[in-house]
């Protein structure tokens, strides 16, 4: 059996090798414990070393066909003309340029953040990405909101029920939900209008009801399932490119995620897309928002 080392990609025997993790660190103890981070799902876990199976680095645990399908749907949707109430504007619709909403993506895991920033770039969504560990997010969110003033706030990282069959009603039984809930509350003190600052919050198995009650527009996870690393990005993209005159189509939004309605839920929310004129490229220097 191959020795487990920091950085290895592994699965857990006791869970039927259902999720691929990478080993973040190994804690020295009488029985060494590995701290694990999901490669594609926003889950953190601990495991004894003898329960781990080390995978070849060439293993590709992601489902690239599903991701490509969602991206193709997104791009197809953008080719459809924006419906406007003003018929005069409709007559010259091709002279306008799309100005999508700006995203502030706060992630407790740098590994996920880098993947998400690359996807935002591919989808042409203006974004600022910040790595802030979950326990620090409630303390820092007000200052970063004041600095960047985004249209859409993503609060995420990794989460999960601490033990199998834990009572899912109590925040204390989750790895990070209590931090996400408090961060949402602090963000709502900054802007209480859910159509002003739109908030997407949570990670794998997060306390969905607590996040919505705290003020999130969209949150994970209604059925306490694992969500994909990219799910918050797909939700943010939909909001960024839905016209501000329209309410986001909820079934359509959840269909455009990996985990679906079991992983992401939310409330009626207006989009953030506006039309600009004249249609010059300097309107939206998307790359300048990337950190």
Domains of the chain, by residue range, sit at 9-54, 64-289
User: For residue 88, what are the CA distances in angstroms to 91, 99, 157, 204, 250?
Assistant: 5, 20, 45, 46, 30
HSE of 12, CA atoms in CB hemisphere, 13 A: 18
Confidence at 9, pLDDT banded by 50, 70, 90: confident
| 5-14, 59-68, 97-106, 116-125, range with the lowest pLDDT | 59-68
- Give the tens place of pLDDT for each residue, 117-164: 999 999 999 999 999 999 999 999 999 999 999 999 999 998 988 887
H helical segments located in the chain: 64-78, 87-91, 110-122, 137-148, 177-190, 208-214, 231-240, 250-255
Confidence at 19, pLDDT banded by 50, 70, 90: confident
Confidence at 85, pLDDT banded by 50, 70, 90: very low
Please check whether residue 37 is in contact with residue 22, taking contact to mean a CB–CB distance below 8 angstroms: yes
Closest CA to 70 of 216, 238, 210: 238
d(Cα 247, Cα 32) in Å, to the nearest integer?
51
CA torsion through residues 123, 286, 269, 170, sign: positive
Residue 87 in this model has a pLDDT that exceeds 50:
no
Q: Scan for tokens 């997060």, then name that residue.
A: 206
Confidence at 89, pLDDT banded by 50, 70, 90: very low
The average pLDDT across 238-250 equals 94
Q: Decide: helix, strand or coil at residue 174.
A: strand
Whether this prediction's pTM lies above 0.95 is answered by: no
Q: Decide: helix, strand or coil at residue 202.
A: coil
pLDDT computed for residue 289 by the predictor = 45
| 214-223, 233-242, 280-289, range with the lowest pLDDT | 280-289
Residue 67 in this model has a pLDDT that exceeds 80:
no
| In CATH, 64-289 is 3.50.7.10 | no
The average pLDDT across 82-104 equals 64
């Amino acid at each position: 059996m191959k020795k487990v080392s920091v950085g290895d990609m592994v699965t857990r025997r006791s869970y039927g090798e259902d999720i691929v993790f990478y080993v973040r660190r190994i804690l020295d103890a009488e029985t060494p414990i590995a701290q694990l981070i999901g490669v594609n799902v926003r889950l953190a876990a601990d495991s004894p070393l003898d329960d781990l199976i080390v995978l070849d680095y060439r293993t590709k645990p992601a489902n690239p066909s599903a991701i490509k399908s969602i991206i193709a749907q997104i791009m197809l949707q953008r080719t459809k003309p924006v419906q406007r109430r003003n018929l005069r504007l409709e007559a010259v619709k091709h002279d306008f340029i799309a100005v999508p909403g700006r995203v502030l993506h706060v992630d407790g895991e740098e590994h996920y953040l880098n993947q998400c920033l690359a996807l935002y770039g591919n989808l042409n969504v203006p974004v600022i990405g910040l790595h802030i560990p979950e326990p620090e997010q409630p303390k820092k969110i007000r200052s970063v909101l004041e600095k960047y003033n985004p249209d859409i706030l993503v609060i995420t990282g990794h989460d999960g029920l601490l033990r199998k069959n834990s009572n899912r009603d109590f925040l204390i039984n989750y790895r990070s939900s209590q931090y996400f809930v408090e961060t949402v509350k602090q963000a709502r003190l900054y802007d209480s209008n859910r159509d002003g600052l739109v908030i997407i919050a949570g990670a794998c198995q997060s306390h969905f009801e607590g996040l919505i009650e705290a003020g999130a527009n969209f949150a994970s996870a209604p059925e306490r399932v694992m969500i994909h690393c990219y799910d918050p990005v797909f939700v943010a993209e939909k909001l960024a490119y839905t016209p501000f005159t329209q309410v986001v189509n909820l079934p359509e939004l959840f269909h455009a995620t990996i985990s679906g309605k079991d992983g992401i839920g939310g409330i009626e929310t207006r989009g953030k897309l506006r039309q600009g004129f004249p249609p010059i490229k300097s309107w939206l220097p998307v790359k300048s928002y990337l950190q």
